[in-house]
């Protein structure tokens, strides 16, 4: 023991102790698993991003038309979409059967083609195409409506009406509500070529799984990084400083335990959301690189900010605000497009780079993560350097 204990063993011991404490106080469970999973689940449900929508929702169609135009809509428009895997098409016999299918959740929406569809169009009258949507999956209704609209624009005399599955008669009020919901829910999934949405987007399940996991990883890291303040206050830091360990091992351990907890969180969440919500994170190597650099960036920033605080409470306050700002401006809480001209600010946040990395990964190859990873790594290193400088004070004599 002449030269003191082995530094690697010391760092390991401190990290193990910190992790044990985080398991005891429940912060790992709450901030690392329950909250991100819960919130992702909530958004996922709210915005209708169930697993089916990744491959396409199921749509029922009733072709009551005694002419040829109804067939034209089914075979010329809906079937090709089915074949392309955009949606699953189910042909049903009656309007009641279609409504029932939507009501029971067997279909997400239904197209009702009336008996007089061709006749009306041929005779120059208005024809009505009805879309029945389930209020609980507004996105599906929205897509169905877009499809209907695409067809209607080709045939100018088609009026599109939208109905909720729970009304036997199309109720204008409910329809308006449903439409409104559908419009505001605008899931990042594109169907029609002409709707102008960016096709390079994550699907709902993946977006919310990844953004919530990354949003909450800051909190998970926070408890480890700020625990040094508690150790100072309760005297255990003095005990560590009095022991024959090199001082740098203490800070190294604090940052390492934040990193470790963050990585474990992200790994578990990636797995859990894949299994539970059908999230598709992407190529494991690319995801691993993004998660590693992404968590490093968060731990670095967290520690850097904490380094300027005077105690754990102040640090926790500052970091909670930071988490919200980064989440909001980084596109983790709502899509960046809603930031409008402020969107450029998002490039200052690791969240933007992390989510963009995942998006690029899903669209392009592995190499697409290089730039986001490099930026995240840079943020992490700068943050860590600042943190070591500032926190160094705490282990100085």
Partner 1 sequence: MPVLEVRGVSKRYGKNLVVDDVSFIIEEGETYGLLGPNGAGKSTTIGMIIGILQRDAGTIRIDGAEHSVTNSRTKALIGFAPQEIAVYKDLSARDNLRFFARLYGLSGARARAKADEVLEMVGLSDHAGEAVSTFSGGMARRVNIGLSLLNDPKLLILDEPTVGVDPQSRNSILESVQALTRGGLSVLYTTHYMEEAERLCDRVGIIESGRLRAEGTQRELVAQVGEDDTVLVTLGGPADKALDRLRALDRVSEVSADGTRIRLLTEDARGVLPSVLRTLTEEDMDIRSVEVQEPDLEAVFLRLTGKGLRE
Q: Is residue 127 part of the contact set for partner 1 (CB under 8 A)?
A: no
Q: Does 393 bind partner 1 (CB under 8 A)?
A: no
**Distance between CA atoms of residues 270 and 355, nearest Å:** 13
Pair of tokens at residue 390: 């500032």
Residue 311 in the binding site for partner 1 (CB under 8 A): no
Contact string 24-53 vs partner 1 (x = CB under 8 A): xx----------------------------
Which of 13, 276, 288, 381 lies at the binding interface for partner 1 (CB under 8 A)?
Answer: 13
Tokens standing for residue 102 = 């939507």
Mask 241-280, x = binds partner 1 (CB under 8 A)? xxxxxxx---------------------------------
27 strand-pairing partners: none
| Segment interacting with partner 1 (CB under 8 A) among 145-153, 232-240, 301-309, 379-387 | 232-240
Is residue 98 within the footprint of partner 1 (CB under 8 A)?
no
Identify the bridge partners of residue 59 per DSSP, sorted by sequence position: 89, 109
Residue among 21 and 190 whose Cβ is closer to partner 1: 21
Cα(52)–Cα(119) distance, integer angstroms? 36
- Cα angle 71-187-36, degrees, rounded to a multiple of 5: 140
Binding residues for partner 1, total number by CB under 8 A:
28
- Nearest-CA neighbor of 85 among 165, 172, 160, 191? 191
Other CB atoms within a 10 A radius of the CB of residue 192 amount to 14
Rank residues 21 and 161 by Cβ distance to partner 1 and give the closer one: 21
If 0-12 CB within 10 Å is exposed, 13-18 middle and 19+ buried, where does residue 140 land?
Answer: buried
Cα angle vertex 69, ends 67, 75, to 5°? 115
* 196 lies in the site for partner 1, by CB under 8 A: no
Q: How far is the CB of 18 from partner 1 (least distance, A)?
A: 10
Which residue's CB is nearer to partner 1, number 156 or number 396?
396
In this chain, which stretch among 21-29, 182-190, 201-209, 256-264 interacts with partner 1, using CB under 8 A? 21-29
The minimum distance between CB 240 and partner 1, in angstroms, equals 6
Contact between 394 and partner 1 per CB under 8 A: no
- Least distance (Å) from partner 1 to the CB of residue 3? 6
Work out whether 8 is an interface residue with partner 1 (CB under 8 A).
Answer: no
CB of 2 to partner 1, least distance (A): 6
Binding test (CB under 8 A) with partner 1, winner from 21, 72, 190, 274: 21
Residues that bind partner 1 in the complex, under the rule CB under 8 A: 1-6, 9-10, 13, 17, 20-21, 24-25, 234-236, 238-247, 397
């Amino acid at each position: 023991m002449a030269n003191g204990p082995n530094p690697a063993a010391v760092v390991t011991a401190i990290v193990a102790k910190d992790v044990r404490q985080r398991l005891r106080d429940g912060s790992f469970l709450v901030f690392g698993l329950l909250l991100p999973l819960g919130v992702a689940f909530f958004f996922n449900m709210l915005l209708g991003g169930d697993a089916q929508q990744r491959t396409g929702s199921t749509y029922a169609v009733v072709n009551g038309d005694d002419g040829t135009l109804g067939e034209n809509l089914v075979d010329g428009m809906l079937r090709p979409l089915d074949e392309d895997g955009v949606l699953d098409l189910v042909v049903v016999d009656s309007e009641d059967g279609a409504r029932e299918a939507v009501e029971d959740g067997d279909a997400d929406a239904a197209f009702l083609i009336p008996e007089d569809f061709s006749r009306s169009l041929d005779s120059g009258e208005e024809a009505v195409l009805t879309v029945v949507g389930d209020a609980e999956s507004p996105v599906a209704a929205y897509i169905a409506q877009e499809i209907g609209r695409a067809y209607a624009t080709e045939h100018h005399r088609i009026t599109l009406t939208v109905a909720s599955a729970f009304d036997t008669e199309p109720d204008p009020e409910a329809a308006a509500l449903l439409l409104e919901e559908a419009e505001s829910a605008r899931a990042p999934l594109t169907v029609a070529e002409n709707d102008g949405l960016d096709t390079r987007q994550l699907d709902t399940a993946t977006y919310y799984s990844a953004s919530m996991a990354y949003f909450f990883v800051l909190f998970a890291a926070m408890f480890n990084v700020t625990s040094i303040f508690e150790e100072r206050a309760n005297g255990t830091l003095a005990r560590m400083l009095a022991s024959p360990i090199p001082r740098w091992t203490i800070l190294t351990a604090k940052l390492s335990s934040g990193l470790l907890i963050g990585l474990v969180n992200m790994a578990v969440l990636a797995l859990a959301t894949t299994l539970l919500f059908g999230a598709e994170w992407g190529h494991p190597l690319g995801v691993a690189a993004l998660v590693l650099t992404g968590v490093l960036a968060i731990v670095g920033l967290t520690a850097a900010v904490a380094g300027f605080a005077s105690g754990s409470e102040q640090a926790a306050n500052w970091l909670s605000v930071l988490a919200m700002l980064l989440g909001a401006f980084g596109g983790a809480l709502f899509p960046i497009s809603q930031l409008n001209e402020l969107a450029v600010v998002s490039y200052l946040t690791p969240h933007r780079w992390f989510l963009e990395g995942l998006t690029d990964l899903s669209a392009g190859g592995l190499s697409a993560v290089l730039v986001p990873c490099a930026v995240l790594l840079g943020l992490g290193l700068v943050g860590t350097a600042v943190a070591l400088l500032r926190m160094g004070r705490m282990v100085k004599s």
